[in-house]
Homo-oligomer: A and B are copies of this chain.
Amino acid sequence: MPDTLVRNAAGRDVVTRINGNEAVPYLGVGAFQPTGRKASPPIARCADYPSDGNKQVPDLKTALVNAGLRDGMTVSTHHHFRDGDLVANRIFDIAAELGIKDLRWLPSAAFPCHAPMIRHLESGVIHHIEGSMNGPLGDFASSGRMRGMGVLRSHGGRYQAIQDGEVHIDIAVIAAPTADPFGNANGVNGPSACGGLGFALADSQYADRVIVVTDNLVPFPCVPWQIQGNHVDFVVVTDKVGEPSKIVSGTTNITRSPDRLFIAELTARFVQAAGLLRDGFSFQAGAGGTSLAFAIYLKEMMIRQGIRARFVRGGSTKYLVEMLNEGLTEYILDGQTFDLDGVRSMRDNPRHVHTNPFVSYNYHGKGNVASMIDICVLGATEVDLGFNANVVSHSDGRLLHGIGGWQNCLFSKCTILPIPSFRDRIPVIVDEVMTLCGPGELIDVIVTERGIAINPLRQDLIDATRNSSLPIKSIHQLKAEIEAICGGRPDRPDFTDNVIAAVKWVDGTVIDVVRQLA
């Protein structure tokens, strides 16, 4: 039986209840006014913790039992190890051993390495997942086999949901490349170094119980303490928390595709033509091949023009680190780290600022970094005529990606999506996106190899680039050209009425839903 749906402010029919809890339909950008106060964790006291600061217990099972793991609880993990995570699966294997059922797993993201969770979803150990389900888990959910409804949130939205008490974490498990017996932890040192641990910040602050798992125990104090031991209940030492070769995923190679290099170059040229390349400016570019290529074109322009950035928002990569070392940016603000040069620089260079979703992305804060960024370059699976974009589902209808920081980054002063005009002969610009992840009013520019479309809301950008040599077109024109090449619009996949996941907006409202494939 389908959930009761209501039409939200974006014209999408969305659920009003998620796994039994009330959900507010999306009201528009900046329209939802939260009332109430932040979540408040239980008051602890030192008398209940070892006075010598040693919180070690023999193993993860003991820690989970001591933390009171039981049916129906919410257990959270972070994804700084990306596809090299060796801890999350073990938590649920232990839960299975203990006969625990109906857990809610709240990862900051899941990767293909977490495919073994399907077994626990099928057996009932895990009731459902709230968090990015990249690859196999998204595919599993799309097939309608996950019992509960998935919830997709941005990095900032995850912080917001935890902070606001929308999601209560019973037990947070924080895998850490380095920690001390008190629970202070960081990601910059140790054999499994991954850079930051910021995605686990909310978990450490708001969970009832916090377990730190490390393969590199150092004497107190573990410095820097990206996670503070004063939030931690138990510390577990284990063989290996992450597979170093997979921690830094294969997303950090510059594209070799001539089309994508051209898109990257066009994007950099647009930025320059629009007058956004100013001394003291800031930008954020993800770790995808096109984004990296954009950063390199931008770097060349900066050198030619003697322009220096005030800061760049990472994921750090060797390309950003080079810019830092060459004095082209004063700071890198790191949210995560995509390669080992990034990890090393973050450890050794004090001009890396270790950030987290509270600082960068949380929409229910007194401002955040995302809206201060001059230029933000992001990807998308689809864009529609209203500049609305999709990042979670493929053209075949399967849920295959998480939102990451994407929604949060849309608040930058100029958000640009450099995307190929088609993939596998399927146009990327469509009448209406299959899954709405970002409202068009926040997406300023679409750059494809066949032309650039500027959102009509940004008359300033249209005016600034009017006399440039750039191939600027209306989005309708661009769409028509692409369809002509691809031979028309493709058929859309068939869905059932069953909602398998809700897509949250940065303020916790429901902007869209994902349905089961027929």
Contact = CB atoms under 8 A, between A and B. Distances in A.
A368 to B, nearest CB: 6
Given A223-B331, A333-B221, A371-B51, A364 B231 contact: no
A369 B221 CA distance: 9
A37 B41 contact: yes
A311 interface: yes
A53 B220 contact: no
B46 A367 contact: yes
Given A43-B34, A221-B311, A331-B223, A49 B366 contact: yes
A258 interface: no
A313 B387 CA distance: 55
Interface in A179-235: 182-183, 210, 219-221, 223-225, 228-233
B230 A371 contact: no
A53 B372 contact: yes
Interface in A11-42: 30, 32-42
Contact of A359 (B40, B228, B232, B333): B228
Given A49-B367, A230-B365, A372-B53, A43 B221 contact: no
Contacts of A45: 30, 32-34, 363-365, 507
A220 B38 CA distance: 26
A489 to B, nearest CB: 36
Contact of A182 (B38, B221, B372): B372
13 contacts: A32-B45, A38-B42, A40-B40, A43-B164, A44-B366, A46-B366, A51-B372, A55-B366, A182-B372, A221-B311, A221-B331, A223-B331, A231-B366
Given A49-B366, A367-B229, A367-B230, A40 B43 contact: no
Contact of A36 (B43, B46, B220, B230): B43
Which among A46, A182, A359 has the highest number of chain B CB atoms within 10 Å? A46
A35 B43 CA distance: 7
A310 interface: yes
Contact of A232 (B230, B351, B358, B366): B366
Give me the 9 closest cross-chain CB pairs, A-B, nearest first. A30-B47, A37-B40, A40-B40, A49-B367, A53-B372, A51-B371, A34-B43, A38-B40, A230-B365
A371 B49 CA distance: 10
A81 interface: no
Contact of A367 (B38, B53, B363): B53
In the complex, the count of this chain's copies comes to: 2
Contacts of A30: 45-47
Nearest to A230: B365
A16 to B, nearest CB: 21
A34 B47 CA distance: 11
A358 B230 contact: yes
Contacts of A225: 353
A280 interface: yes
A411 interface: yes
A455 interface: no
A291 interface: no
A283 to B, nearest CB: 14
A44 B366 CA distance: 6
A37 B46 contact: no
A223 B334 CA distance: 13
A2 interface: no
A313 to B, nearest CB: 10
A219 B280 contact: yes
Nearest to A44: B366
Contacts of A46: 30, 363-368, 371, 411
Given A53-B371, A223-B353, 19 more contacts: A35-B43, A37-B41, A37-B43, A38-B41, A38-B42, A43-B163, A46-B366, A49-B367, A55-B367, A182-B367, A210-B366, A219-B280, A221-B310, A221-B369, A223-B351, A228-B358, A230-B362, A230-B367, A231-B366
A311 B53 CA distance: 14
A350 interface: yes
